[in-house]
Structure 1
Amino acid sequence: MADARKLARRARMLRWLLNCYPPYIGAGIRVQSISADFCQVKVRMGLSRFNRNYVGTQFGGSLYSMVDPFYMLMLMQLLGREYIVWDKAASIDFIAPGKGPVFADLRIDEGLLTEIREHTAGGKKYLPRLQVDIRDAAGELVARVDKTLYVRLKPQARQA
């Protein structure tokens, strides 16, 4: 019970810190919620003069920025200190112009955590691929981001 409260407090603190992060403020990115168990993050980005490109739509870099750190941060919290978690690669596919507010809903389920633990149990690295869609207020797909993460059990945890 105490661990759940500690995790929920950590989620609230991380949300607050990210919403005070100057690049996110400038880009109009707001972390709407981080679930108490770190399995879900919801992010919103409005369209403003600070993130509008020459043709009046969302900058592609801002679209990517709004989802960039979250899978790594979520896995770090969910797997614990025994694991090394890094972003390894990413790509973004721009589907339609972002002409207003856009939203992303990032989720990690228990199946992925089990898969990661199984693949890294012997000390080998694992490169899970995750995907997140960025949608407009009408639910239309604006961009799709593919992330590859690097996950490995730390040497001290392998010997235990």
Structure 2
Amino acid sequence: MGAFLKRLSSKSGGFRFFVIFYPPFLFSGIKVEKVSKDFRYIKVRLKLRWYNRNYVGTQFGGSLFSMTDPFYMIMLIKNLGKDYIVWDKKSCIKFIKPGTTDVFAEFRIDDEIIENIKREVDKNGKGEFPFTVEIKDKSGQLIALVEKIEYVRKK
């Protein structure tokens, strides 16, 4: 899947094609709603449907976790450039309350984050960088927190 992602993401419109037809998203109700042109902001929605509810009728935890999976890695790949290798290293989810509606996650990186990563990796050859994603329901209530560690090294 990594080669498939790399090939698609290098072409115009490839990212959109990838996220529309990526099986873990396609079959779980996950939809990318917005991607900034500079890949520094992404908004994702998980619709609550009969096929992604858990036993008690709320958002399935695996789908909540899946909706946060590749985005920081992709954002860093797009923003750091070809001199860097980026991998998801670790993810951890903390469930706060049941998701009883559609839920949303927003991913952001800015110039300061990019420059700090480049500085550390250029100095040390590699590094691990933490990111936190909040999953919220329609009313803005926190449903879950996902902590991610992205591994970055020089090529």
Instruction: Assess same fold via TM > 0.5.
Output: yes
Q: CA deviation at 1:123?
A: 4.7
Q: Aligned residue for 2:84?
A: 83
Name the aligned partner's letter for residue 72 of structure 1: M
Partner residue in 1 for 2:5 = none
Report what 2:4 is aligned to: none
Whole-angstrom CA distance in 2 between matches of 1:14 and 1:75? 14
Work out whether residues 132 and 146 of structure 2, in 8 Å CA contact, stay in contact via their aligned partners in 1. Answer: yes
TM-superposed deviation, 1:132: 0.6
User: 1:1-160 to 2 correspondence within 5 Å?
Assistant: 10=12, 12-154=13-155
Normalised by the length of structure 2, the TM-score is 0.90
How far apart in 2 are the matches of 1:47 and 1:128?
A: 31
- 2:141 alignment partner AA: E
Amino acid at match of 2:128: L
Larger Rg: 1
State how many pairs are aligned.
146
CA RMSD of aligned residues (A): 1.4
For structure 1, the 5+ residue unaligned runs are 1-6, 155-160
Contact 1:133 1:145 in 2 (8 A): yes
- Structure 2, unmatched stretches of 5+, are 1-8
The TM-score, its normalising length taken from structure 1, stands at 0.87
